[in-house]
Amino acid sequence: MSIQTTLNPYIYPVSSQPEKSPFNAGETLQEKTSPLTVLLLGSGGRECALAWKIAQSPALKHLYIAPGNGGTGAYGQNVDLSPLDFDAIARFVSEHGVDMIVVGNEDPLVAGIYDYFQGREGAPLIVGPSKAGAALEGSKDFAKQFMVRHNIPTARYRSFTAETVAEGEKFLEELRPPYVLKADGLAAGKGVLIIDNLDEAKASLREMLSGMFGKSSATVVIEEFLKGIECSVFVLTDGNGGYRILPVAKDYKRIGEGDTGPNTGGMGAVSPVAFADDVFMKKVEERIILPTVNGLKAEGITYRGFIFLGLIEVGGEPMVIEYNVRMGDPETEVVMLRIASDLLPLLRAAAEGCLGDMPLAIDPRYATTVMVVSGGYPGSYPKGKVITGTDECGDAILFHAGTKLNPDGTLVTSGGRVIACSSYGNDIDEALAGSFKAANALEYDGKYFRRDIGADLKAILNLKS
Ligand code: AMP
Ligand code: GLY
């Protein structure tokens, strides 16, 4: 089947910003289009999907993934480097002629990898924000203050520390249940508590402030509970007012079917999202994306990379639940399938601060992913289980997450989320059939996956038709 492409309807250069030339002074077209050596940081399904997409680029010379996983080696060369060891990364960059670093996960960004390389001789381009920009994810209090400053719709909130715990309890009394308590700092996706009972919420506030999530919960954001359906919007911005909106996705965070049980990193994803139609996306662009991109610029915060808007639709209106400063996982495992354009020149242009009018073509087909996970996840789980069935997955694209290739070539589990089974389809059912076929075909001890990925979106589509 041929890949049909349509132009993304959400490509609007920001008219108030002068468009910079995509060329640096004295640079020739030859240099501009010379192939790039890229270092991708991270080891999850997200990085496997980014590697898959980047590896298809004619503009790529060589792709390294640090540290990568049992699947990323199919698209580039895994290198045994920690994404947080900036000195080792700098040595690798100079020894291997790396032109551009694509940062997959948030930790190096929040730790300041962008700032680390500024002003260094031979510094590579970096796709990702400065440390100041990464605070949009690294500090929920900073993110909320930013949203208030720029009039971006979000839940009413206040922040508290150990000194103001009594005021925090009073604020809880003013709110209606359920109560939403968020650790200010990074907490590996576990820092948000949603509690029905006021006394329990007060007790949890005290526990958080006395170190439930270490230093991350020394400040706690308490906010109003918002009821609605969530989606993930991704923006690639060049820090100069230029941006592209990537395909919208919905992920499924809870471990159990029907959205029950504990939160996970994400059990599956679907793109497009039925309720994120043109009317909704116009509101998202005008009320959230433009004020975010322009607000960062106005505050002098360098931000050349992905912005992940965790949104909730409340009565037809979009509100921001959270910012992340990277792509989502497992959303990337569907978003990459729907980007028909070569991604590498777009990443390069974003990192250089000049997206200009570079087009972003979107594949109109559906893409879905179903994550197969280890038994016990998101609690404790065994590792080292032998994985078979990878050659019985039909047309699905397997994005490895927690896998490892043993020296003898055996593929084994090495994490909670094991493999994202991604598939295209002309409609949501066809895409899901491809993903579920693969999820069923993969075998290892304790395999689990949610069989209801996409069910809510199918119900919305049925109502619309
Ligand atoms: P986060 O770690 O910030 O993504 O939050 C985890 C999840 O908690 C979100 O995906 C939402 O489902 C939920 N959540 C966070 N904030 C709120 C809120 N103000 N109202 C309702 N649900 C929320
Ligand atoms: N899937 C949600 C996240 O990546 O944070």
Ligand nearest to the CA of residue 225, numbered in listed order: 1
Read off the pLDDT of each residue in 271-300 and give the average, rounded to a whole number.
Answer: 97
pLDDT band at 23 (very low <50, low <70, confident <90, very high): very low
Q: Give pLDDT, residue 30.
A: 43
- If you measure from the C-alpha of residue 266 to the centroid of ligand 2, how many angstroms do you get, rounded to a whole number? 6
How many of the other CB atoms lie within 10 Å of CB of 464?
9
Ligand 1: list residues with CB < 6 Å.
Answer: 155, 180, 189, 192, 223, 225-226, 230, 253, 310, 321-322
The tens digit of pLDDT for each residue in 336-377 reads: 999 999 999 999 999 999 999 999 999 999 999 999 999 999
Kindly give the distance from the C-alpha atom of residue 265 to the centroid of ligand 1, in angstroms, as a whole number.
13
Question: Which residue, by CA, sits nearest to atom 16 of ligand 1?
Answer: 321
Ligand index nearest the alpha carbon of residue 180: 1
CB 46 within 8 A of CB 330: yes
Question: If you average pLDDT over residues 384-401, what whole number do you get?
Answer: 97
Closest CA to 457 of 204, 196, 250: 250
What is the average pLDDT across 110-116? Answer: 97
Q: How confident is the model at residue 72 (pLDDT cuts 50, 70, 90)?
A: very high
Give the model confidence (pLDDT) of 247-276 as tens digits: 999 999 999 999 999 889 999 999 999 999
pLDDT above 70 for 29: no
Condensed to tens digits (0 to 9), the pLDDT of residues 121-174 reads 989 999 999 999 999 999 999 999 999 999 999 999 999 999 999 999 999 999
| Paired tokens of 128 | 């990702």
Percent of the chain with pLDDT over 70: 93
Q: For residue 464, what pLDDT is reported?
A: 81
Q: Is the pLDDT at 8 greater than 80, yes or no?
A: no
Banded model confidence at residue 24, pLDDT cuts 50, 70, 90: low
pLDDT of 305 > 90? The answer is yes
Which one-letter DSSP state was computed for residue 433? H
Specify which residues 64 forms β-bridges with: 39, 77
Query: pLDDT at position 17, please?
Result: 35
d(CA 183, CA 206): 12
- Nearest in space to 46 (alpha carbons), one of 425, 399, 292: 399
**pLDDT category of residue 32 using cuts at 50, 70 and 90:** low
142: helix, strand or coil: helix
Average pLDDT of span 201-218: 92
Q: What is the DSSP letter of 130?
A: -
Residue 390: pLDDT band (50, 70, 90) is very high
Can you spell out the DSSP letters for 325-350?
A: SS--TTTHHHHHHHB-S-HHHHHHHH
Q: Given the CA of residue 266, which atom of ligand 2 is nearest to it?
A: 1
Ligand nearest, relative to CA of residue 193: 1
Mean pLDDT for the chain?
92
pLDDT in the model for residue 180: 95
What is the pLDDT averaged over residues 8-24? 37
Cα–Cα nearest to 226, from 145, 301, 311: 311
Q: How confident is the model at residue 465 (pLDDT cuts 50, 70, 90)?
A: confident
From the list 267, 261, 453, the residue with the least C-alpha distance to 373 is 267
Q: DSSP strand E in 163-272: where?
A: 179-183, 192-195, 220-223, 229-237, 243-245, 250-251, 254-256, 260-263, 268-271
Q: Which residues line ligand 2 (CB under 6 A)?
A: 251, 266, 324, 328-329, 331
Say what the pLDDT of residue 463 is: 85
What is the pLDDT, as a whole number, of residue 33? 66
Q: Which are the contacts of 339, defined by CB distance < 8 A and separation ≥ 6? A: 53, 246, 247, 360, 361, 362, 363
Residue 22 pLDDT exceeds 60 = no
For 237-245, what is the mean pLDDT? 97
Which residues face 193 on adjacent strands? 181
Residue 243 CA to ligand 1 centre (angstroms): 26
